[in-house]
Amino acid sequence: GGVPGGGGAGRRDGDVRRARDGGLRGGVPGGGGAHAAAARAQPQPRGLPREHRPGGGPAAGCAPAAGAGGRAADPIESTTEFRRHETDTGSAEVQIASLSARVTQLTEHLAINKKDYDCQRGLKIILGKRQRLLRYLKNTNLSKYRKTIAALDIKDKL
């Protein structure tokens, strides 16, 4: 038990006096409780990949990787051949090409970082979007659908 009005549960009378005198704070000699300890020294993250450390890489958890298979690493650059006009960014073919480039990046990232579950979730979301766009393109313009999947090397599962 403690002293009435003199400290937390489980402290002995001597601990309370030392806490008031500055000798023992927060149960640790020289300590000042949880807030003071956090203000004194920030623990360094251990075992995290460089891109996930504070100040150690891109802000996003899924770092962009270099493209594979001769494709451009940047999703915007990979869409130029699918554009209907100079400023086209919204047509289904351009969106599919952009998403395909991002799928390649995330797949390469996950090959290195197998336990990046946030990235896995993002990849599944992107694959779903791409599948919906492919279905739309197949239903509206079959010839463009076939050209797009041939150019991007996507299997025809629809």
Which pLDDT does position 44 carry in this prediction? 56
pLDDT at position 78 is 77
Token pair of 153, please? 């090397």
The angle subtended at Cα 30 by Cα 6 and Cα 38, nearest 5°, is 95
Q: For residue range 70-115, what is the model confidence (pLDDT) as tens digits?
A: 444 576 677 888 999 999 989 999 999 999 999 999 999 999 999 9
Ranges of the chain whose pLDDT falls below 50:
55-60, 65-72
